[in-house]
Amino acid sequence: MANVIIVGAQWGDEGKGKVVDIYTENANDVARFQGGNNAGHTLVVGNEKTVLHLIPSGILHPGKRCIIGNGVVLDPKIFLQEIEGLKAKGYLKDDSQLVVDGNVHIIMPYHKAIDIAREKASGARKIGTTGRGIGPTYEDKIGRRGIRLNDLVNPQVFARKLKEVLPEKNFMLEKFLGEPALAEEAIIEEYTGYALQLKKYLGCASTLLNQSIREGHNILFEGAQGSLLDVDHGTYPYVTSSSTISGGACTGTGVGPRFMDEIIGISKAYVTRVGEGPFPTELNDAMGEKLQKAGNEFGATTGRPRRTGWFDAVALREAVRTNGMTGLAITKMDVLNDFDTIKVCTAYSYKGELLEDFPRDFEVLRECHPVYEELEGWKSDISTVTEFDQLPEKAVSYLKKIEEITGCPAILVSVGPRRDQTIQVKNPFA
Ligand code: IMP
């Protein structure tokens, strides 16, 4: 039996969906523990592409139970649309395959309206959020004003809580942000409809997962976004509003840390970022454009072009430490097939000083410049390679360099979007 946590090791979009999909073969349960439909996982099975924002990617495997833990924020409309889309493609034949914890916080229309209006009002200082209402929903959770799924499915409790909170939200929308107020009756009508459809998925993540552990089952904990977007350990304030690192798997599902066995960080062979915020190895030149094109770096959720840059080992070392990573999965290696030289950032230079650790002070980080080591590219197509020892020597050197600087072994290498374009060095469930 093994319980494995998968987290993004960079700023999100590392290709977690594919890795989770592969590891799901070994798991009985797949649990999401934070974030909401700000995430976007693109999965390719055969020639069919499926994009999931909320439901764990494990749903594509019949017989695997997918659990949405209490740490997630849930937009009921999106959730129900996703279910409909999956069913139309022949997935989710058995509704008991999907469970949502009753303590997930519900993303309400005012959360989305406030998120979008605040960003608009922030001008150049905006965060670059996905506009899905994620931050405002987590604010209400921490501020003890949130509405949880357990509240939503109880019409009296839902109406009372909404009545209490809506005047404050409308005051904020109208008087501060200059947006129209929202009508209570319309929200009640819309959300009561969702409640009726959601009821059958309601359950308790902590009870189910702990029971699974007692029965000797394998659990995969599926993180969303990335470690550098963590609200505590990321590049604050340019972060998302949840605990994206491995610790979040415990608080976001109600499973204790002693049951976690392996923590796998997913990292691209280069770096991308969407939204605003510091990005020391960013390439604002033809090389950056080449990476963007070769990697098809456009957001699965918002369609925004992703910023691109060279591999940043300083940032990755930080993620290895805050997560306690036991292994790395390096994705999109094939994107680097056609580069004469490939750079790896091994340290930062800050006002003439050499920094080996990722600065926790945002004002320092924004003034850091990358110090690179240059490696020769392998200049060949590795997208059909399935065994580690078939990789060109220069590709192996690149991976060894990453392992050496981060102190973490690469246990999986992805060389294309399909399931069969994967080199598995070690199975974390074995
Ligand atoms: P929010 O999560 O919508 O509040 O956005 C906050 C920051 O996190 C923005 O920079 C977003 O672009 C970024 N972000 C949120 N979700 C993802 C994701 O799944 N992948 C990459 N970036 C994300």
Question: Lowest mean pLDDT: which of 16-20, 99-103, 130-134, 406-410?
Answer: 16-20
- 364 and 308 within one domain: yes
Domain assignment of residue 78, yes or no: yes
Q: Cα dist. 9→187, 297, 322 in Å? A: 38, 17, 10
pLDDT given for residue 393 in this prediction: 97
pLDDT mean across residues, the chain: 95
Query: Residues 179-215, buried b or exposed e (16+ Cβ, 10 A)?
Result: bebbeeeebbeebeebbeebeebbbbbbebbbebbee
- Ligand 1 atom 8, closest CA: 240
Q: Of the residues 225, 236, 268, which should be mutated to test ligand 1's pocket, given the most ligand atoms within 8 Å of the CB?
A: 225
pLDDT-based confidence at 193, cuts 50/70/90?
very high
Domain boundary among 211, 226, 259: 259
By the 8 A CB rule, do 36 and 74 touch?
A: yes
Neighbouring residues of 331: CB distance < 8 A, sequence distance ≥ 6: 14, 15, 18, 19, 266, 267, 268, 269, 413, 414
SS3 of 312, please? strand
Ligand 1 geometric centre to CA of 302 (Å):
10
Active-site option among 13, 115, 140, 334: 13
How far apart are alpha carbons 87 and 330 in whole angstroms? 32
Pair of tokens at residue 299: 């957001």
What was the pLDDT predicted at 49?
A: 84
Q: Do 377 and 252 sit in the same domain of this protein? A: no
Q: What is the pLDDT of residue 332?
A: 97
212, 192: one domain: no
Q: Is residue 37 part of a domain?
A: yes
Question: pLDDT band at 138, cuts 50/70/90?
Answer: very high
429 assigned to some structural domain: no
Q: How confident is the model at residue 399 (pLDDT cuts 50, 70, 90)?
A: very high
Strands 73-74 and 41-45: unpaired
Is the pLDDT reported for residue 42 higher than 80?
no
Residues with CB under 6 A from ligand 1: 11-13, 38-40, 127-130, 132, 134-135, 224-225, 229, 238, 240-241, 274-275
Could you tell me the two tokens for 366?
Answer: 């924004």
Question: What pLDDT was estimated at residue 90?
Answer: 93
Q: Which of 21, 29, 41, 334 is catalytic?
A: 41
Tell me, yes or no, whether 342 and 417 share the same domain: yes
Q: How confident is the model at residue 55 (pLDDT cuts 50, 70, 90)?
A: very high
Percent over 90 (pLDDT), the chain: 90
What average pLDDT does the segment 24-40 reach? 95
Q: What is the CATH number of the domain that holds 167?
A: 1.10.300.10
Q: Residue 303: its pLDDT value, please? A: 80
User: Does the structure show a pLDDT above 80 at 35?
Assistant: yes
Q: What distance in angstroms lies between residue 273's CA and the mean position of ligand 1's atoms?
A: 9
Q: How confident is the model at residue 38 (pLDDT cuts 50, 70, 90)?
A: very high
At residue 302 the predicted structure's pLDDT band, cuts being 50, 70 and 90, is confident
pLDDT in tens, 57-115: 889 898 999 999 999 999 999 999 999 999 999 999 999 999 999 999 999 999 999 99
CA distances from 260 to 263, 375, 412 (A): 8, 36, 19
- Residue 430, domain member (yes or no): no
The 10s digit of each residue's pLDDT in 266-282 is 999 999 999 899 999 99
Which residue, among 236, 166, 233, 207, has the nearest Cα to 70 in the 3D structure? 207
- How many helices and strands in the chain, by DSSP H and E? 13, 20
**For range 388-394, the mean pLDDT:** 96
> What gap in Å lies between CA 368 and CA 104, rounded to an integer?
38
319, two tokens: 């993620």
Q: What average pLDDT does this structure show over 197-224?
A: 97
Is 44's pLDDT higher than 80?
Answer: no
**Quick check: 50 pLDDT over 90?**
no
54 and 70 assigned to the same domain: yes
- Looking at per-residue pLDDT, the higher value among 279 and 302 belongs to 279
The parent domain of residue 391 ranges over: 267-424
According to the model, what pLDDT value does residue 413 have?
98
Lowest mean pLDDT among 42-46, 140-144, 240-244: 42-46
Instruction: Tell me what pLDDT residue 41 has.
Output: 81
CATH number at residue 307: 3.90.170.10
CATH of the domain at 62: 3.40.440.10
* Residue 301 clears pLDDT 90, i.e. is over it: no
Do 406 and 325 share a structural domain?
yes
Q: For residue 16, is it within any domain?
A: yes
Residue 299 has pLDDT above 90, yes or no: no
Q: What is the pLDDT, as a whole number, of residue 130?
A: 93
- Count of the separate structural domains present in the chain: 3
Nearest to 12 by CA among 240, 209, 335, 174: 240
pLDDT of residue 88: 94
Q: What is the pLDDT of residue 166?
A: 98
Answer yes or no: do 220 and 184 share one domain.
no
One domain, residues 244 and 275: no
Q: Are residues 65 and 211 in the same domain?
A: yes
If asked whether residues 310 and 375 sit together in one domain, one would say yes
Q: What is the pLDDT of residue 43?
A: 77
How much is the pLDDT for 379?
A: 97
**Which residue among 233, 259, 285 closes a domain?**
259
Which of the four pLDDT bands, split at 50, 70 and 90, describes residue 17? confident
Q: In the listed set 181, 198, 215, which residue is the last one of a domain according to the structure? A: 198
Tell me the whole-structure pTM to 2 decimals: 0.96
Domain identity same for 330 and 302: yes
pLDDT of residue 292: 95
What sign has the CA pseudo-torsion 239, 242, 243, 245?
Answer: negative
Alpha-carbon gap, residue 108 to 84, rounded angstroms: 21
Residue 173 lies in a domain: yes
The dihedral formed by the CA atoms of 293, 295, 301 and 302, expressed in degrees to the nearest 10: -20
| For the CA of 38, the nearest atom of ligand 1 | 16
Looking at the fold, whether 109 and 130 belong to one and the same domain comes out as yes
pLDDT at 300: 73
Confidence of residue 48 (pLDDT cuts 50, 70, 90): confident
* Spacing, Cα 31 to ligand 1 middle (Å): 20
Tokens of 44: 């390719």
Helix axes 184-198, 155-171, angle to 10 degrees: 140
